[in-house]
Every structure is written in structure tokens, then in C-alpha cells.
Chains A and B, each alone.
Chain A
Amino acid sequence: MVELKHITKVFNRNRPDEFTALLDVSLLVRAGKVTVFKGPSGSGKTTLLSIIGAMAKPTSGRVFLEGKEITSLSERFLTEIRRRTFGFIFQQFHLIRGISAIENVMLPATTTGEKHATLRDRALRLLDLFGLSAKARSRVEWLSGGEVQRVAIARALVNNPAVIIADEPTAHLDTRLSMDFLGIMERLNAEGKTIIIASHDPLVYESGMVSRVVEMRDGEIRGPRQSA
């Protein structure tokens, strides 16, 4: 599905605050599996996610998506790929305040040229799937923590992506909400979605649904192992 070959990512290159976030990382993320990147803060998990998700380009190395190299593509094409292939769930969820839940869910598809009504119906169906149809018109700042989390998941799914990328999704959730989140991910995985999560929460990387845990430290992969 996604293959990384000798990826290195250096921030602030040739400046006094130069920092190497990833060093010679090679990895194959298989389709239909749940992969977790585990490691402490600053280990390079988020940077790795952004490179896999076509959000950032590596300083060196090559990225392949379904066998095609995407490393040298322009921002325009990378955006197209990102929109079509990946759905993102951010650590802080990053919903846009002041607009309704349904408007937030519609955001990734707003610029696809799809009819507004069709898009709205699809977003509503997604919210319904997560038991949020009654809150569709509510502004996101009025929603509870669990509701915000589910709106963020619905937003990640609106373009029907093949891959869901989640960055520390349980960092701000209590155990019950974390378990809910994992339940939803398991369901999506069962439907055929590839799930990639960065987390240092044992609830996540010890979960039974995880196919593979990749341990990271100081920008490098330390002994990947297949989970049970």
C-alpha cells in the first residue's frame, strides 16, 4: 500500500536549529491492516505520519503509494492524492469552531466540485452512522468530547478514503472514549480500511485489533514486530 525507502526528514536545514526528525526509515504499510507507530514524544511518529499521508515531503528517500512513486509530485498532485486516499484524525481533532458539525464533516469534500446537496446528504449519513444526526446543525463548540471525536472521524471518512491516519487520537480522551474510538477503528478496519495510528497509549498499541506495532525512537525504527 504505502512503502517508504530510506526516508530522512530534516527540519530547519543548514540553520543553527537544524533537527533530524527521521533518519533512514524504510517501511512497508500493508493495505487493510492496522499499523501503530509507538514511541515517546519527539521520536518522529507525527513526521512519519505526515510523510505517509502526503502532507510533507521527505528531505531524502522515496515514497511509493500502491507501487507508484509520489515523492517528486507537485503540491497540487499531492493534495489530490491526500484528498482521495487519506482521511486524517488529528491529536486535537482540529474542528473549525463557529460552524456546525455537518459543515465540519463536509470540509474535505468542499472543493471537489461535488453538488452541495449530495455532499450534505453524505455527511449527514456519516453523522447518522455515529449517532450524531441530531447534532448535525450544532456548532462544534457546543458538543461533548466524545461527540467532537466522532465528528472528527466522520470528517476523515467523508471522501471515503482507503487509509485512515490518526495522530495520538486518545491523548485527550478518557478510557471509555478511547475504547469507543478503538471500537470505531476496528469496525472501519473490518470494512476494509487501512488504519495507521501514532500513539504512545498502551490502550491503543496493546489493542487486539492492531496488526503491527512499529516502535520508534530518535527518528529511527527500533525492531518492528507483528502483533498477535
Chain B
Amino acid sequence: MSLLERHRNIIDFALSSLGRRWKKNLALTLVYAFIVFTLASVIFFTEAVKREARAVLKGAPEIVVQRLMAGRHDLIPAGYIDILKKITGVGQVKGRLWGYYFEPSTGANYTIVASGDPPLEPGTIAVGQGVSRTLHAAVGDLIPLRGTDGAYVSFEVARVFSHASELVSADLIEMPAADLRALFGVPAGFFTDLTLKVRNEKELVVVADKIRRLLPDTRPILRDEILRTYDSLFDWRSGLLLVVFAGAVAAFIIFAWDKATSLSMDERREMGVLKAVGWKTSEVIAMKSWEGIIVSLTAFFGGILIAYVHVFFSSALLFEPVLKGWAVLYPRFQLIPHIDPYQVLALFFLTVVPYTVATVIPSWNAATVDPDSIMRL
């Protein structure tokens, strides 16, 4: 009880001491919180997007088979479907039709896919929120698209995909298979790629190996490989942002080191008075440590809280261009709030602990002065 009371009283004094130098401490807390905010935003965003991508890809086919021509992705003959179906362990094999469409007036790239379920009427399309925003197109509007023959074909917007799917559907245009073949000039009997369902996930590698041997002009892509690509893509992007912020972090370290480690004459005098009136060295150090902990924790939790709001409620507004990576069609989506405690803990140990230690060392030196030194001032 007495220990608690003692520390309560010391914390009271530490708070009043911080208040006395509020300009210095406020500046320090703000810069500190900004750094934590930046790092936490990048970490939260990267992790949430990776989780989102994993969730989306959960429903994706286990294997995608593409045909290669001179090392490039080429159309795949429909006849390959029967060959693949004969492989033991392969369940369903489907042909997919899709392609990219560059819209010069907006500078946007759309992904056009053949409609699946529910099917679309000929001459109609379903568009993602990003496409709808860029072209100002709503249900019932006509969108002209330029075919391979140079002629424009108008499609009526029948549906706009919901916000919930925006992360993956922002740039999407869905249309009937026949319309897509006509628009892109894909001949009958060919698909963009094939998708395979495999009954036993443990057999994926064996099946992929069999595909390579049976159809040497194709490459099987496993879902896990796509997941890894997503992971490394977002890791790369977050890494890029962190490198950009490395300068800011370094500036903060110098600033914080200077502010935290240098004690003003006033502070030294104060510590001398405390020693003279009966504070032990350990109590003076405890007081200065509490000051460091208060600044550190306030900045840390403030930064984390703002980062949380920034990432999960404002869709990472500030880092949008780097982290999301779309040129024109920025998806507007809300990430599902999730915090990895280990990452927060790592951030805590990388910020709060070094800062607190940095404040204690000079206080230690100052607190070991003889208590009678104040009598000579």
C-alpha cells in the first residue's frame, strides 16, 4: 500500500513536472505519436490487406492453367479441358475468359471477365465501383467500348458490384462470354486460361507436376503461389513506404535523443532540491522514468489509436497511392479491423522501451549528485 502511495505521489509530481515544461513535452509527444502512427498505419494496412486477399482467394480455384507461347501467356485450346479431366484427383475443369481494357480518356485499366453466375443478358455488363465512379456510370447507362476491329460497341450497365467486394472488383467489368469473344476477338474453342478443382489439397503439387508433363506448353499456377505473390507484393509496398519514412524515423530518433537525454539547468537544479529535501537517488530516477513512460505511452497509444482510425475507418487515406497501387481506380473499401498483438508488441519494444531507457540514463547521472550541491548554488 505504502509502495503504491509512494509511486502515486511520484507520478503526481512527474505529471506536474511534465506540465511545467509542456511546450517541450508536447512537441516531443506529437512527433513521437506521428512516427508511431506512420509505422502502425503501414503495419495495420499491410496485414489487413493481406488477410483480405487471403479471404478472397479462399474461394479461388486451387490450380490455374495457362498456355505459354514464347514465354508469354497465350490463349488455351478448349480441347485441353478433356486432357486435364483425365488426371487422377482433378475434379472440375473450367475455361475462363478475361482480358484487360485500357480506357484512354480516363487513363484507367479495366479487367473484363466473362459473366458467370447470375448470367448477364447479351449487350449488358456489370461494373465495379471504381469503374462506375471513373465513368460516372450508373445502372441503365451505356458504356462504349472499342473492339479489336476499331469499332465501338455500347454496353448497358445492368449491375454495379457492391462496396463489400470493392477490393477485388473496383476495376472489374463483367459481360456475357459471347460479347467478350466479339470485343477482344477471342476465337471459339479457346479460353484465356483454365481453372481446376483438386479434391485433395495434398495432391496439388503432384497434379501440377502431371500437368507440366502432359501439356508441356502450359504452366500450372497454384493458389498458394498467388497468395505468396500477394504477400510479397504488399510486403514490398509497405517496405517501400517504410524506407521513405526511415528519414523521418531517423530525424525523430535524433530529436527524441536530444530532448530526452539533455537535462536543462532548471531540471538539474530541481533534482538537486529533491535530493536535498530527502528524496533518494532511486526515487529521483523513478520520477524521471515515470516522466519518460508517461510521454512514451501517451504518444504510443495516441499514435496507435489514430493509425487504427486512419486504416480501418478512413481507408488509409494518406498512404492510398503507395499501398493500394491502383493508378486511377482507387478502390474505396473498409478493411475489417484487426490488430496482430505481436506486431503491436514489437512496435512497443521498438519505441517505448528505447525512449524510456534514453530518458533514464541522463537522469541517473544527474540524480547521483551529492544532495549538498544545491546548498552551493
Contacts and interface: CB of A to CB of B under 8 A. Distances in A.
Interface of A: 46-47, 49-50, 55-56, 75-76, 79, 82-83, 88, 90-92, 94, 96-99, 103, 107-108, 110-116, 119, 155, 159, 167
Contact of B16 (A49, A99, A108): A99
Contacts of B279: 79, 110-111
Give the interface centre of B272, B273, B370, B377 by most chain A CB atoms within 10 Å. B273
A76 B3 CA distance: 16
Given A107-B274, A110-B13, A111-B283, A46 B20 contact: no
A50 B6 contact: no
Interface string B156-190: 00000000000000000000000000000000000
B372 interface: yes
Contact of B278 (A92, A96, A108, A167): A108
A108 B370 CA distance: 17
B280 interface: yes
A49 B12 CA distance: 31
B375 A50 contact: yes
B195 to A, nearest CB: 70
B2 interface: yes
24 contacts: A46-B372, A55-B370, A55-B371, A56-B370, A79-B279, A79-B280, A83-B277, A83-B278, A91-B375, A94-B269, A96-B270, A98-B16, A99-B16, A107-B274, A110-B10, A110-B13, A111-B10, A111-B278, A112-B6, A113-B1, A114-B5, A114-B9, A116-B8, A167-B375
B374 interface: yes
List of 10 A-B pairs having minimum Cβ-Cβ separation, nearest first = A113-B2, A83-B278, A98-B20, A50-B372, A55-B372, A108-B277, A113-B6, A56-B372, A111-B283, A55-B371
Contact of B280 (A75, A119, A155, A167): A75
Nearest to A78: B371
Interface residues of B, number: 35
B377 A107 contact: no
Given A46-B375, A90-B375, A116-B12, A111 B6 contact: yes
B371 A82 contact: yes
B122 to A, nearest CB: 80
B370 to A, nearest CB: 6
Give the interface centre of A88, A91, A110 by most chain B CB atoms within 10 Å. A110
A55 B10 contact: no
B8 A94 contact: no
Nearest to A94: B273
A50 B373 CA distance: 9
Contact of A119 (B2, B9, B273, B374): B9
Contacts of B115: none
Contacts of A55: 276, 370-372, 375
A96 B375 contact: no
B356 interface: no
B376 interface: yes
B66 interface: no
Contacts of A83: 277-278
Contacts of A155: 277
Interface in B255-301: 266, 269-270, 272-283
Contact of B376 (A46, A82, A159): A46
Nearest to A112: B6
Nearest to B12: A116
B278 A82 contact: yes
Nearest to B5: A113
A159 B280 contact: no
Contact of A99 (B9, B20, B375, B376): B20
A50 to B, nearest CB: 4
A76 B280 contact: yes
Contact of B375 (A49, A82, A112): A49
A160 to B, nearest CB: 13
